[in-house]
Structure 1
């Protein structure tokens, strides 16, 4: 099955690295490049810009790796509250360690980690010790009272001057983080202040994939970015400084626009004048120039907004977010002119659940065909869906068993009699194991199993919230899943 492509990845790789090299050349020996978004697993970008590879930004940076070093930033507040990266399901502090490993594996030099907004948090102290025991340099940056408006304090020895100076050795310093709100920009600015005190002419630039500055403000790709950051309450806006300086309409987001006067004032103190007229000027993002099919990207982004809405409803049911986030996503759906009915798998799953009176799951294949999975005595709805889809893709008639019931029963016995589970139905992982073991003696099972890679990018909706196990399997297969914010059982525990 061929996914529709809306983005030219090769053009992006060459165009983007050239553009960054050009920016480095404008500052003699040191450029701090604030890297927003995910660096080598940008699944959001790959979902809303079909054709964008999740590791595109990393591949592009690898062309600059000899000149680059990486500094990872994490906020002490995020460590303290065990903030979790939604796409990977791991905490920010664990993600810092994962990032260090991943960068090193690819030949990058990771210089250090910076803990920002530090005010004595115990969990931050523990994390600092852990990193230092692993041989990683750690620097501490502090909150500044009146940030970002109190410029005289910020640009002083009591403001940025109080932060520890990060020792760097390469001309391009890439400042990245596990997620937004970590303090990347403040870290860059703090370094500019310290470099200036040391007589070093350092520059700053920003690499932020979204919002895309040279497509319309309410383009679904830009709305999908607002949906992704609904918990931060970021909003995209027209860059007023760029409009004033050049008479050109570009898109930026509120935090960058709000901070620009501060940046401008800091640059003036460093260089005598600010090298940039607007937040847009500071950016080096070429993504908007590499969209080759606008319609494909629009449709993919609308689906992303609906998925974000469902995730927000689930978190709300679990008490992990407030009403505002849900309202914001409802508003974004209105702005994009869509509702949950625009997700075909949703309608199919809900209809199936209504007919059967039990949980149901539906999947939309690349060609638009819908497959459903119902709850039965042997299988949970997700497991049934998995088998039905693999049979469909392998052209195996629906009534043919690819796993014999005789192979399922011992697994059920193991679950209920030996492991004490009250639910005899097989989860997706168990059904895949049963299918794998059947494949040793059955060509049909082997053929069904070989279809698994084709599930990547398919849309799935469940009429109830799925177990962590089922969610994990769908994620590993690259399936884009949403669930109704409804518990499967009425029990409280």
Structure 2
């Protein structure tokens, strides 16, 4: 993988900038973390070299000063809202995040349940947290939020919320996903801290859009594609331009809410420390791009992947035609099309030749390895074996797993497990390969190449079964599929 981002520089620069912001306010800083604090795979795709846990590792440099508050809305708990990339509910993800943060040595202080209106499921979740020894606090849904400033910033608004007890100068407010009430949690705390005589500040950590990249930079366009379902729009920050005469990039929701936030700060403190929504941010990611061209190409590739994801979601009944239309417009802005995805073109060429589902994988040098459907192997399984042979320098004519080892698995599926498809999935073939690696040198050499599959692009000429799809994701490969279930 070509590297376009200096991760070490980022870890140092970002932590130092946050320290500066803490010192600016004095007693305490509430830092709203937009996006994912952990496993930020979008950032690692569009900024090659950015590690998915970079933001978490950056916080480790501040761990003696920081504590984490995880926000989750009562509505998300009651509706069993699912985090799409992981397939788990938001409340399950809160518990997962607590374990992850603690395993890194970070202090998780509490959980804030926001927008509460008496949901029984939220009460049950609080009882569960209590049984785990995790403090939780209730923040109520406030009538007129966020426009009725006079009511919100009063004892009848923020004043009715629980005061979240914190003990460290940096309070990081994060959440399982959007709409969790992170900003409201921070603002409520500022109100309560002020009443207690504590000088607390607020800042926002939002990786995208990157404020010091051009508006139409592919990395910023890729952010719009990633949030097409939310209809986020990148835009020049008019408040920053007016105040400083400098062009910076933000997005519509932050720009729209800024006058409200400014009014809230002025009502709480009598003044506002920030002249623009960009001022509120602390993100240094744009300063750590080491190769702009690499990141531009990565951004373009991500936009196309988002197109395939959305069109397949529509086929599954999960996507949005409006989101797809927006992504198509974004592709035009970036001057790209689905035909620019080499693996997609290659997979379709193989399907057209064989009239069977096909999978193509692109190596780092740009070469393409394909996998064809056979009576014994599915296309994903064949593609994985072929690419492992290529990476290990093994002749493609050599068998890594003997047919005698694979055929009993096929018979088991068809004769005893009731499967209509006797060809082997990628997980079954990888298990067989791992067993063969104990006795066969070639199988071991191929098996040892599994870590090198990470970040390789993959395309299937049909939508894959969930088992195969998850295998590619777990291997860290960038998978897309055609929006169909069989060859026409």
**How do residues 19-418 of structure 1 correspond to structure 2 at under 5 angstroms?**
19-418=17-416
Cα distance between partner residues in 1 of 2:439 and 2:182: 55
Q: Deviations over 1:154-205 (max 9, x none)?
A: 1112222222211111111000011122111111011111111222111001
Alignment of 1:402-481 (within 5 A): 402-481=400-479
Distance 1:80 1:234 in 2: 26
* 2:229 counterpart SS class: helix
Q: Give the 3-state SS of the residue equivalent to 1:113 in structure 2.
A: strand
User: 1:38 Cα deviation (Å)?
Assistant: 1.2
Structure 1 gaps, min length 5: none
Q: CA deviation at 1:419?
A: 1.8
Distance 1:269 1:48 in 2: 40
Which structure 2 segments of 5+ residues have no match? none
What TM-score, normalized to structure 1?
0.96
Decide whether the 8 Å contact of 2:360 with 2:383 is kept in 1: yes
Q: In 2, Cα distance between the equivalents of 1:454 and 1:288?
A: 28
SS of residue paired to 1:230: coil
Superposition deviation, residue 76 in structure 1: 2.1
Per-residue deviation at 1:289? 0.6
Which residue does the alignment assign to 1:18? 16
CA distance in 1, matches of 2:261, 2:290: 34
Per-residue CA distance 1:235-277 (angstroms, 9 max, x = gap): 1111111011001110011111111111111111222211100
Partner-residue secondary structure (3-state), 1:65: coil
Superimposed CA distance per residue, residues 81-106 of structure 1 (whole angstroms, 9 cap, x where no aligned partner): 33322332322211110100011111
Corresponding residue pairs, total: 488
The alignment yields a C-alpha RMSD, in angstroms, of 1.4
Deviations 1:188-229 (A, max 9, x none): 011111111222111001111111101111111111111111
Tell me whether 308-317 or 6-15 shows the greater mean CA deviation. Answer: 308-317
Q: TM-score, normalised by structure 2?
A: 0.97
